[in-house]
Amino acid sequence: MSRKVLLIEDEPNITEAIRFLLTREGWHVETHAEGSDAFELIMASRPDLLILDVMLPGKSGMDILRELREQEDTRKLPVLMLTARGQLRDREMAEKAGVSRFMTKPFSNTEVVTAVRDLHAQASKA
Amino acid sequence: MATLNVLILVCLGYVVLLFGVAFAADRLAATGRSTWLRTPFVYTLSLSIYCTAWTFYGAVGYAARSGLEFVTIYLGPTLIMISWWWGLRKLVRVGRSQRVTSIADLISSRYGKSNILAICVTILAVLGVTPYIALQLQSITLSFSIFAEADPSGIYHEGTSVFWVAAGLAVFAILFGTRNLDANERHHGVVTAIAIEAVVKLIALLAVGIFVVWGIAGGVGPIMERIDASEIGRWNVHRGRWAAITFLSAAAFVCLPRMFQVMVVENDDERHLRTAAWAFPLYLLLMSLFVVPIAVVGLDLMPEGSNPDLFVLTIPLALGNDWLAMLSFIGGFSSATSMVIVAAMALSTMVSNHIVMPIWLSAQGRRASMSGDVRDIVLLSRRISIAVIMALGIVYFRLSGGGAALAAIGLIAFAGIAQILPALVGGLFWRGATRTGALIGLTVGFGLWIYTLLLPGMGGALMPASVLENGPLGLGWLRPQALFGIEGIDPMVHSVMWSLSLNAAAFCIASLVSFPSPLERLQGAQFVNVFDHSAGPRGWTGSVAQSEDLMIMTQRILGAAEAHVFFQAEAERQGGRGYLPEPTPAFLESLERELSGSVGAATAHAMIGQIVGGSSVSVEDLLAVADESAQLLEYSGQLETKSAELARTARKLREANEKLTQISMQKDAFLSQVSHELRTPMTSIRAFSEIMRDTEGLTAQERTRYAAIIHDEALRLTRLLDDLLDLSVLENGQVNLNMGDGNLQDVLDRAVSTAMAGSDRPLRVRRNRASERIPLHTDLDRLGQVFINLIANAQKYCDAPDPVLTISVHDVGGQAVVDFIDNGSGVPPEAQSMVFEKFARVGSDKAGGAGLGLAICREIMQRLNGEVSYLAGQGGGAFRISLPLAYKQAAQ
């Protein structure tokens, strides 16, 4: 069974880069560029791992994360959050909202790949 | 045996002698040959009216009853004379420089010529002195009765003798005390007569003393043995009582109206005080020298139950020495009469000046000051006052039953009079003392004196025994002789302690709390600093000096420059030489108006009046008052300004703080957004460059595509940085406009072609070229930049399937207006107000812009004196540019 990652990111070039990296890692990568309907999509798509941008059109990644953590099914879903706003406050907010890993753009490719591997390993163990 | 008839004859003879002396002295004074009457010794002897019949007879009685305590009566004045002569000198100087007529006048004058204070002091004095006068009448009556007992003819009747004695004294006081109205209120005749009486009573007492010591006891040695053997010789010192009575007698010495009369009013030369400072204590010493021997011998010699107050008289009588008894009687008579005459004179002056005359004047209205018979009215009111005071003395004598010990009555009177002390001393030494303070202090002290000493002392007639036992209405802590539960003190000490301490406290507190009137301040300065300016007559020599002083005073109030201008203007108006105007009434009037604007009408009037009137107020005093007022005015002005300034500063600070907070928040938001906008392209660049570096076996196609992404994102970064710099320059106003002449059509042509070349999105542009031929004088490049931005926006954001941008040009009210309207869905109403803010991007579309374009457009249009705005309700995205026309700009 192939592993599925859902990437919600409104910057097409970044989406393409991450898709390239994770596909090579053996992931099935689904993408979406809109915040407003992201939650419904996640619930429908049931990914093994979620990569979430913070500043999204329609709805903030932070709000989406909070909603996910309120749901029984997605409480333990590994979420890797990416943001271009490199402020400490954003990290604190994300951790409070229940993020699994928080990374600031620009990231190194290895960093992203390793994070995805780690998160998946932890989730499988549990 | 001397008969009563002989005694009465001797008395009459003595009185006639006194009349003669007084009359002669008045005549001498009237002819200006009175210098020998006014020696320091006459002054000192006149002070001896302190020693009344109470001292003459009473001291012996006092010693017989209470031992050495009688010394305190002499101790107080002695201490005052020796250690406080400088205070007395100040009192005398003030009294003379202010021409006061009585102690009531002095207090009233000090506290702003307040008549209510004068009335208070007068009533206090009458109440305090009446028992004292009664005491003198009693002593004369008693001494008469001693002789009457020995006289078989029985013509003596106590009631009538009191009346005749009082009447005789009243006649004397009226004849010599109110013969005429002297501005200085000096009575040479009376003073001379008193001096003679002082000598007579001293000789009489010394004679009795010598007779007792050498005639009866047999010399100094034996009398000392007798004294040692007697109770009197032991020092039974009751410390509280000693201190209280010493203090009281000192206070009374200063405050008693008759003492004030001889010491201050009748004083001719204040240097006399220097002599009196040693001579008067010496006189007192002589007066007290034989008191103890007489008392001791009297107690031994006289039968049990005889009145010790009369030992001075009864001892010679008992031993058959009639002539000595007669001399002693004359001595006592002298003591009593001199006291009564001076006291009646002093009181009548006070009563007439402060009670009768004000009432008469107000009853007469304006007529009084015109009619010229005021002198007679004053004299008449004084004469009647003397008679009334004498009558009061008789009434008191009858009421008190004539039985109380002389000393006790005397002390009660002392305690009452001493209530004036705080207001008097405070007035002399403390400029802060006020009328209100004096009034409240006097009232408190006087009330307590009546309640705790006078009423209980009068027996059951005026205060029921139940009040004395249990307090009024059963309130134990209000018992007259144990106020606030403090018991076991001598009633005398108790009353003095409470009345004087509360009097002084009330005086001080009320003075501190209340605010003095200008006249009070002036008088306060006058009294307290009396030595600084009253040395001689004031030297207002000529009018120029006056003008100079007025100038100095005006400068203090108005400031130097303004005063100078005012005086110069006035001098010119008078047709003047120099800068000082003559002090004509017109000038003074206008100066007063000028000053009253600053210090108030009353003060201005008083100040000018004092300078021009040549009154004894010194310039320094006036300036002190002026300075104080000016300082107060200035200070309050400063305070107002300061508080207004503070409020303004606080508001400014608050505003600045709010602005800073806002700016700081804006800055944070801006930085955060800039960070975001920079990081996004950098993320792509880094990700793809790492992919190209790390991934093996990329296809050529992939490699090309990723390189293109990196290239695009690098361009995006550059654009962003350019925009940021551009905006920063525009916002800081550092931009240099490159003004030039051109045509709107050309600018639009260039903008459209540039915009179309930069993007491959399809957009049709519709224009009406004919309407675009408008000349412009502006920065053509900057204007083109705005147009390009707007066209590019339409390219990026117009969401119609067949995007069309219509550019139309109008001339509206002297402005060139260019509208850019596309056929897309436009900007949602809620975002329309935001489109010109930095990084305000509407909708989800990522069209590669950083969101600074419209912010830049707005800044540029502002620099070009134009405007860019969003046009709502056009169906699609619609922006309007308006800018001044060339001819208009040229015209400016």
Strands B775-778 and B740-743: antiparallel
Whether B699 maps to a domain, the answer reads yes
- By the CB < 8 Å criterion, does B846 face chain A? yes
Asked, as a colleague might, if the bond just before B801 is cis with ω within 30 of 0, I would say no
| Three-state secondary-structure class, residue B311 | helix
Residues B462-496 have pLDDT tens digits of 666 666 666 666 666 666 666 666 666 677 777 88
Whether B756 maps to a domain, the answer reads yes
How much is the mean pLDDT over chain A?
89
Question: Rounded to the nearest 5°, which phi and psi values hold at A31?
Answer: -130, 155
The pLDDT of residue A116? 93
- By the CB < 8 Å criterion, does B676 face chain A? yes
**Last residue within a domain, chosen from B364, B399, B434:** B399
Whether A125 maps to a domain, the answer reads no
The pLDDT of residue A115? 93
Interchain contact, A10 vs B691, CB within 8 Å: no
The pLDDT of residue B739? 86
B522 or B46, higher pLDDT = B46
What is the longest distance spanned by two Cα atoms in chain A? 39
The pLDDT of residue B774? 85
Considering the domain architecture, whether residues B492 and B578 belong to the same structural domain is answered as no
The pLDDT of residue A52? 92
Banded pLDDT at B540 (limits 50, 70, 90): very low
Assign residue B657 the CATH number of its domain.
1.10.287.130
Q: pLDDT at residue B888 above 60? A: no
Considering the domain architecture, whether residues B345 and B438 belong to the same structural domain is answered as no
Nearest to A105 among B683, B688, B694 (CB): B683
The pLDDT of residue B281? 86
A101-114 mean pLDDT: 91
Q: pLDDT at residue B544 above 70? A: no
The pLDDT of residue B183? 46
Considering the domain architecture, whether residues B187 and B48 belong to the same structural domain is answered as yes
Interchain contact, A33 vs B844, CB within 8 Å: yes
The pLDDT of residue B368? 43
For chain B, the domain total comes to: 5
Range of the domain at B554: 537-617
Which of B130-144, B507-521, B577-591, B694-708 shows the lowest mean pLDDT across its residues? Answer: B577-591
Q: pLDDT at residue B56 above 60? A: yes
Return d(Cα B93, Cα B106) in angstroms, integer.
12
> Nearest to residue A52, comparing CAs of A66, B65, B380, A44?
A66
Range of the domain at A64: 3-120
B575-597 mean pLDDT: 72
Q: Where are the alpha helices (DSSP H) in B458-600?
A: 465-470, 491-513, 518-528, 530-533, 542-558, 560-573, 585-599
Return d(Cα A54, Cα B587) in angstroms, integer.
88
How much is the mean pLDDT over chain B?
77
Counting residues of chain B whose pLDDT is more than 90, the rounded percentage is 3
Assign residue B803 the CATH number of its domain.
3.30.565.10
What are residue A80's DSSP bridge partners? A51, A101
The pLDDT of residue B541? 34
The pLDDT of residue B461? 58
Q: Does residue B549 contact residue B467 with C-beta atoms inside 8 Å? A: no
Nearest to A86 among B679, B686, B695 (CB): B679
Nearest C-alpha in A relative to B670: A85
Interface of B with A in 699-718 (CB under 8 A): 709, 712-713
Q: pLDDT at residue B447 above 80? A: yes
Banded pLDDT at A65 (limits 50, 70, 90): very high
Kindly report whether the global pTM for this prediction surpasses the value 0.80. Answer: no
Banded pLDDT at B683 (limits 50, 70, 90): very high
Whether A17 maps to a domain, the answer reads yes
Interchain contact, A86 vs B675, CB within 8 Å: yes
The pLDDT of residue B710? 92
Q: pLDDT at residue A63 above 50? A: yes
Question: What is the ipTM, given to two decimal places?
Answer: 0.94
Q: pLDDT at residue B685 above 90? A: yes
Interchain contact, B684 vs A104, CB within 8 Å: no
Nearest to A17 among B688, B843, B844 (CB): B688
Query: Given the structure tokens 């119609």, which residue do they identify?
Result: B800
Q: pLDDT at residue B238 above 70? A: no
Assign residue A16 the CATH number of its domain.
3.40.50.2300
B233 or B862, higher pLDDT = B862
Residues B603-630 have pLDDT tens digits of 666 667 666 654 445 555 555 566 666 6
Q: pLDDT at residue B810 above 90? A: no
Considering the domain architecture, whether residues B32 and B127 belong to the same structural domain is answered as yes
Considering the domain architecture, whether residues B73 and B195 belong to the same structural domain is answered as yes
The pLDDT of residue B704? 92
A42-69 mean pLDDT: 90
The pLDDT of residue B709? 92
B171-B177-B178-B180 Cα dihedral, nearest 10 degrees: 140
Banded pLDDT at A90 (limits 50, 70, 90): confident
CA atoms within 13 A on the CB side of B38: 18
Considering the domain architecture, whether residues B787 and B671 belong to the same structural domain is answered as no
CA atoms within 13 A on the CB side of B90: 17
Residues B374-391 have pLDDT tens digits of 667 777 888 888 888 888
Nearest to B690 among A13, A55, A108 (CB): A108
Whether B360 maps to a domain, the answer reads yes
The pLDDT of residue B686? 93
For chain A, the domain total comes to: 1
Residues B185-231 have pLDDT tens digits of 567 777 888 888 888 888 888 888 888 888 777 777 777 777 777 76
- By the CB < 8 Å criterion, does B687 face chain A? yes
Most confident segment among A18-27, B71-80, B353-362, B821-830 = A18-27
Considering the domain architecture, whether residues B414 and B547 belong to the same structural domain is answered as no
The pLDDT of residue A19? 93
Q: Which of B673, B682, B683 to mutate to test the interface with A (most CBs of A within 10 A)?
A: B683
Q: pLDDT at residue B437 above 70? A: yes
Nearest to B691 among A11, A20, A104 (CB): A20
B498-515 mean pLDDT: 85
Assign residue B130 the CATH number of its domain.
1.20.1740
Nearest C-alpha in B relative to A15: B684
Which of A65-69, B156-160, B590-594 shows the lowest mean pLDDT across its residues? Answer: B156-160
Whether B109 maps to a domain, the answer reads yes
Which of A62-71, B22-31, B435-444 shows the lowest mean pLDDT across its residues? Answer: B22-31
Whether A58 maps to a domain, the answer reads yes
Interchain contact, B676 vs A104, CB within 8 Å: no
